[in-house]
Amino acid sequence: MSAKVVFVSGASGFLGSHIVEQLLSRGYRVRVSARGKKAAILKTTYSRNPAVEIFEISDIIHEQFPEALQGVDAVIHAASPLPGRMEPEQMLNTAIEGSLNVLRQAEKAGVKRFVVTSSVATLAGNPNGTFKDTDWNPVTKEVAINAGNDGVTYAASKKFAELAFTLLRNMPHNTESSTVNPPFLYGPFTTNFATPDFDAFSTNLSIYNLIKTEGKYPPRPGYADVRDVARAHVTALDSPPTSEVGRKRVIFASPYDFNFKNAIELLSEKRPQLKGRLITQVPPELPAYRYPVDFERIERVTGLKKGDFHTFEKTLLDTVDNLLDVEAGWKSQGDSVGDIPSFAGV
């Protein structure tokens, strides 16, 4: 039997690159999309891997790409505009219409399985208990456009892109779809991930700030290891049918606390060479250090058990070690690291 083919949008990103890596490790053939320089980087990265095909798509909102979807068994749509990179209205339009274009074309091509990357930003705060798949952020498009806040705009873009995904309910009954809604992602980059500048670091900038004396702590402690989130996307391709488990909206987060004080103590102990450059700001004390998600639900849809998740210590140390390797690589090429920017986030 020939290997199944999965189309992945956003493959050049932090999460997307891990999704591709895990698909390949499981024997899938992968088709990936990107534009401009990112497409060129992907072509170089996978030039010797016959299991990967690269398709340059310059306009995800309007462009037609039937060749990329011909014979595809499943689509993982991980592409999404990042906060602060576009004007609010453009960001909303790109997230929503880009998702619709990919999904409509995939439906037309006969694709039967879909997994879409969403975010915990689509959820309202839930101080009374575990997040449910019926929880939604009340933000409107009008509020997002006029808020003057990148985080609010990002939350709205993810919310309305995910709602656009519900159009899949009008597809034939033998079509299966899932969303994975993670928080901030931390973890090492894939081996061939391009890190030409700080923009490529994505949410790992929050970890990088922990090894910056004048750094800032993440805006909230809830997180997930990027490797676990990528795995959830891949295993969701084989999730039980909706008729058995209901709507497959997977609210995803690590089961481990990200206690800022403990994190700095851990780095001091395990990486003593960093003591002179660790963040000096007193860590805030918070009422909770992780998101209240339903791990039984995660296991039922994706197969991931609590014990399968990377521990916080593993995530933190792997991430910091990888960031230091990137630093060393820059310096070996004669580049200066410069000032590490803060990550405002969402």
Task: Give the pLDDT of residue 346.
Answer: 45
Q: Which CATH number fits the domain that encloses residue 9? A: 3.40.50.720
State the Cα angle at 151 between 187 and 36, rounded to 5°.
65
Q: What DSSP line would sit under 38-101, residue for residue?
A: HHHHHHHHTTT-TTEEEEE-S-TTT---HHHHTT-SEEEE---PPTTSS-HHHHHHHHHHHHHH
Residue 59 counted as domain residue: yes
Residue 100 counted as domain residue: yes
In this prediction, what percent of the chain has a pLDDT beyond 70? Answer: 92
Residue 230 counted as domain residue: yes
Task: Give the pLDDT of residue 219.
Answer: 87
Residue 266 counted as domain residue: no
pTM flag (> 0.85): yes
pLDDT in tens, 27-60: 999 999 988 888 888 999 999 999 999 999 988 8
Higher pLDDT, 118 or 201: 118
Least confident among 162-171, 182-191, 258-267: 162-171
- By three-state DSSP, how is residue 14 classified? helix
Report the 10 Å Cβ neighbour count for 327: 16
Task: Give the pLDDT of residue 192.
Answer: 80
Query: Total structural domains in the chain?
Result: 1
Mean pLDDT of the region 276-300: 94
pLDDT in tens, 63-95: 999 999 999 999 999 998 888 788 999 999 999
**Nearest residue to 80 via CA among 187, 143, 171, 160:** 160
Residue 268 counted as domain residue: no
Task: Give the pLDDT of residue 37.
Answer: 87
Domain that holds residue 98: 5-188+223-251
Mean pLDDT of the region 6-14: 95
pLDDT in tens, 134-158: 999 999 999 999 999 999 999 999 9
CA distance 69 to 30: 11
Residue 215 counted as domain residue: no
Q: What is the mean pLDDT of the chain?
A: 91
Task: Give the pLDDT of residue 307.
Answer: 97
Residue 310 has pLDDT above 90, yes or no: yes
pLDDT in tens, 201-253: 889 999 999 999 999 999 889 999 999 999 999 999 999 999 999 999 999 99
Residue 14 counted as domain residue: yes
Residue 208 counted as domain residue: no
Task: Give the pLDDT of residue 237.
Answer: 98
Task: Give the pLDDT of residue 170.
Answer: 60
